[in-house]
Amino acid sequence: MSKYGLILGLFVLAAILMLLGVGYLIFKPDHYEAPKDGRDLRAGWLSTTDPESGLNFEYPANFGTKYIEPLDWPPRVRVEQRPLMCTNAGEVGARAGQSVTRVIEGEEYCVTTLSQDSYNQYVYATTKEPGVVYVSFSTHLRDCTTYSESERRECESEEASFSPDITINEILKSGLGE
């Protein structure tokens, strides 16, 4: 094999791997499962009663993250007697945010996310007895650019991988007797 053929082959292989990676990021499933290692995810959680809904539930003091902190916490929980409707549309940075249907541990949720500057607002909605349950809260994301190179990478990695899905599902399970 010639040197040209080897270089071309490596280039084609690199291009294929890059396309597979981009394809995964674009088309990865919105389906999350809790760890199956036997841990009690709610160990050490706090308990509260939402003043509007009267629903008693458990919640963590924080997300266990270094650069992302919960605001409007514990989350607000409200229940409405109507069908759940979710239109998969919008963009996270748009005025109305982005709504997507997501399956979390076998439960279907409509998740709306709105991002403004270093703040994200979330609303999780799902159908549970006695109706549609909404969980809403916000997070503050630190400005990663203010940190040293290694901390900046750690901060950016935490932001890129952050998902409150399992936490919100566990909160609802704690309040609805599951």
C-alpha dist (Å) from residue 82 to 37, 75, 85, 125, 159: 37, 21, 9, 12, 34
Nearest-angstrom CA–CA distance, 59 and 100: 24
CB 84 within 8 A of CB 110: yes
Distance CA 13, CA 10 (A): 5
Residue 129 token pair: 């007895």
Closest to 97 in 3D by CA, of 110, 115, 84, 109: 115
Ordered by start, the domain boundaries in the chain are: 1-30, 33-175
SS3 141: strand
Is residue 35 reached through a cis peptide bond, with omega within 30 degrees of 0 on the bond before it? Answer: no
Widest CA span of the chain, in angstroms? 74
pLDDT at 52: 81
Rounded distance between C-alpha atoms, residue 36 and residue 159, angstroms: 24
pLDDT tens for the chain, 178 residues long, are 677 766 665 555 555 545 444 343 334 344 334 444 444 567 789 999 988 888 889 999 999 999 999 999 999 999 999 999 999 998 887 888 999 999 999 999 999 999 998 999 999 999 987 789 999 999 999 999 999 999 999 999 999 999 999 999 999 888 876 5
